[in-house]
Amino acid sequence: MKLLTSQQIHQWDAYTIEHEPIASLDLMERAAARCTEFILEKNLAAQAVKIFCGKGNNGGDGLAIARQLIDTGFQPVVYILEFGARGTDDFQVNLHKLHQLSSAIYFIQAQEFFPEINRNDLVIDALFGSGLNRPLLDLSAALVTHINNASATVIAIDVPSGMYIDKSCKGDAVINATYTLTFQTTKLCFLLAENAELFGKVVVQDIGLLPQFLQETETIFQVIEKARVAETVKPRSAFAHKGNYGHSLVIAGNTGKMGAALLSAKACMRAGAGLVTLNVPQNAINIPQTALPEAMCAIREETTDWEGFTTIGIGPGLGTNHDALGALQHVLENFKKPVVIDADALNIIAENKQLLQHIPAGSVITPHPKEFERLFGKFANEMDRLNKAVELSSQYDFTIVLKGHYTLIANNGSGWFNSTGNAGLAKGGSGDVLTGIITAFMSQGLTGLDAAICGTYLHGLAADLTLQEQSQESMIASDIIDRLGEAFYEIRADIE
């Protein structure tokens, strides 16, 4: 699913108006009707309804909602923010129509005109829509603060006023919505953690925009869909043998951190690698031989030949001492196939930046935000960090998996957001499992990008399936591994 910029969203409206064809006023009526239906279904109009409108088309949506609520027997009060502009043509037409039905229309020209808002009121935010390109100031910002301070139920139309579609609004005045009724498709701004307290529950309202525009439009960002994963992760041949699915080497674990090594190696096996060898320090060699009998073991201090392996995953629980640095350097200098780099291996690179240039082409790195900042510097906001990941994915020949609630996979100047997973993944060991899964997919012949996309999606899906038996609080990393089989069945359910 493609994520559009603000400009592309307005182009989609224009495309539909031209090619359906439909008048812009009728398209606005259709959008407003979807919002009105939601309000009525939730029985929210039983409260006192106060609708705040700007003078753009978002305000026009608000006026149309007010009229539709009046037609169903309710008496909303409308407040129009007066800031000099005449208003768009569609806004003016809807204002004229509303004047025929109601006298409860007020213009806000200064703060003394702000109405009292009670906690039990329903506030509809139709002040500023997806076209906003600068922070709210003066009267607009003051009105947003006034609404937020009331702690009423707030429905934002399309986006909360003050929020940008495709850049950060950190520190700006933004409506704090209970619900956001967004049109046709989700927006990039709803995937940012720093916005999570602002948009509330997002409900996508289908307003009939023509899908051909989306098919013909290129975007930098998109959301991973199940069909993409199902098409990429092929069912196994009945005549396959273990050699067909690669030999993964997992270099992981150190004193006190052997759990990370076991989790990563076991996930690698569960995700389909034909053979897995776990490379650990000599003093820990007995641990995997008893705890993970399906894996072969190699002593780190004695391993010098990497050529027999299809892919290497390195980092979980590795430590950052001199021996760990030596192991990572040896891999980067001698192994020319793609590798998966995570955790301590990333921290070592952060302290030895020259190693970035030696990461083999087609590899995958899997930093969480703090690891990403250690590698590439601090960022003013989340959107800057995401844009930097995409930029770096053009600069370097590796895929970046920037972990988060909506993990971003960046490759060659484009970004894919993962749509699976839940807060139960916020536990130690979850990242080690992801490293093992991605390593397994690369061993089976997937490119770094496809391995990252499929691995991240299935990792999150397994976590979602875990909620059938565990809560987010009780979920642990081993549960994700145990549910991987069900996750594979789930992605194939629609095609088998």
Distance CA 367, CA 262 (A): 20
What pTM was computed for the model? 0.95
Distance CA 47, CA 123 (A): 10
**Which residues have C-beta within 8 Å of that of residue 378, sequence separation ≥ 6?**
none
Beta carbons of 341 and 323 less than 8 angstroms apart: no
pLDDT at position 84: 73
* Residues composing the chain: 496
Q: How many CA atoms lie within 13 A of 322 on its CB side?
A: 0
Low-confidence ranges of the chain (pLDDT < 70): 494-496
pLDDT at position 495: 58
CATH number, span 226-492: 3.40.1190.20
Domain with CATH 3.40.50.10260 in the chain: 16-218
Tokens of 477: 């990393």
| Helix (H) / strand (E) containing 450 | helix 448-466
Cis peptide bond N-terminal to 21, omega within 30 = yes
Specify the DSSP class assigned to residue 81. E
pLDDT at position 496: 53
The answer to whether domain 16-218 has CATH 1.10.10.10 is no
Q: Choose among 34, 271, 318: nearest CA to 158.
A: 34
Partnered with residue 126 across adjacent β-strands are 53
Domain with CATH 3.40.1190.20 in the chain: 226-492
Distance CA 22, CA 281 (A): 69
**Which residues have C-beta within 8 Å of that of residue 88, sequence separation ≥ 6?**
55, 56, 57, 60
